[in-house]
Amino acid sequence: MNEVITTSYNPLYVALSFVCAFMGAYSALTCVYKLLAYRKAHINHSLDKLTGKRPRTSMLPSSQMYYGTLCVAGLAFGGLGVWCMHFIGTLALQLPVAVHYSLDTTLLSLVAAVLASICGLGIVAANPYSLPRLVCAGAILGVGVSAMHYLGMYSMEFDGFFLWDWPLVALSCLIAFVAATAGLWLAFATSSNAARWLAAALMGGAICAMHYTGMAAADVVCTTPVTALPESDSLGMLTALPVLLVMLIVVISFLIALVHMYARRFKT
């Protein structure tokens, strides 16, 4: 007999999921600001050549440096801010059934999040003051966050199925788009560091709001008797995820430090 399971959340993991989303968004925005500095250096160099002035810098960022920084931004937002946040949020969901995860679908969700983030941030970095580009970037980020979330849920394997509330599914996708677009606009409306922090908080909140709205859209229906102490992948994830999270933070921090080091050469 099918049974709809009552779910609950661990508040500690819910809070940790927001911290993860915020860190990913802030790191990504920091990299995008560096991309703007690279573009400005090239523009100023071209203007100096046209006007016959002495170049303001003897070195210009290469295309490899530009796209490398863009990939770091995509990894920070898609990998840390979206993907890691999703699985911390999934661990926050307490289910009395055994849950396992499909490795192929899980990795596909990571690829989707990172690629969408690279595309969206690349579009807005080209001209963050263009409204069409801003909306397009927000849409791509929204699609990436949504795709990652629902692929992640599809990777969950248990004796049952999800019963979807489609209006809530649509609302979760709309939240991702609107908040991502608003966050990008806020990040570039002013050049203050406070705006960047606020934008990162808004974008991190958007990721979490999309995730938990999407979770609320799914009723968990169990097709077998509910066990008191199910054996699942959750215990292994509880051990492995913190290690993965720390490693990802260390790698992204190192890459951002390199970005900062090279960006200092191109300040005008």
- Check residue 257 and give its pLDDT: 65
Please state the φ and ψ torsions of residue 62, each to the nearest 5 degrees: -80, 165
Burial class (CB in 10 A: 0-12, 13-18, 19+), 4: exposed
E strands, the chain, where?
Answer: 3-4, 8-9, 93-94, 100-101, 156-157, 160-164, 218-222
CB 142 within 8 A of CB 176: yes
| pLDDT in the model for residue 258 | 65
Provide DSSP, 178-245: HHHHHHHHHHHHS--HHHHHHHHHHHHHHHHHHHHHHHHTEEEEESSPPPSS---SHHHHHHHHHHHH
Domain residue spans in the chain? 8-264
The half-sphere exposure of 60 on its side-chain side, counting CA atoms within 13 A, is 12
What pLDDT sits at residue 235?
A: 47
Q: Long-range contacts made by residues 107-112, C-beta under 8 angstroms, separation at least 24?
A: 108/151, 109/83, 109/147, 109/148, 109/149, 109/151, 109/152, 109/155, 110/78, 110/79, 110/83, 110/148, 112/144, 112/147, 112/148, 112/151
- Cβ(141)–Cβ(117) under 8 Å? yes
Lookup result for tokens 């990795």: 107
Given this model, what pLDDT does residue 166 score? 94
User: Measured between alpha carbons, how far is 174 from 181 in angstroms, rounded to an integer?
Assistant: 11
Give me the pLDDT at residue 260, please. 61
At residue 268, the pLDDT reads: 46
Kindly state the tokens that stand for 35: 């991309």
Averaged in consecutive runs of 10 residues, what is the pLDDT profile of the chain (268 residues)?
78 87 86 80 71 65 80 87 86 80 88 92 87 92 91 87 92 90 80 81 88 91 68 50 60 66 55
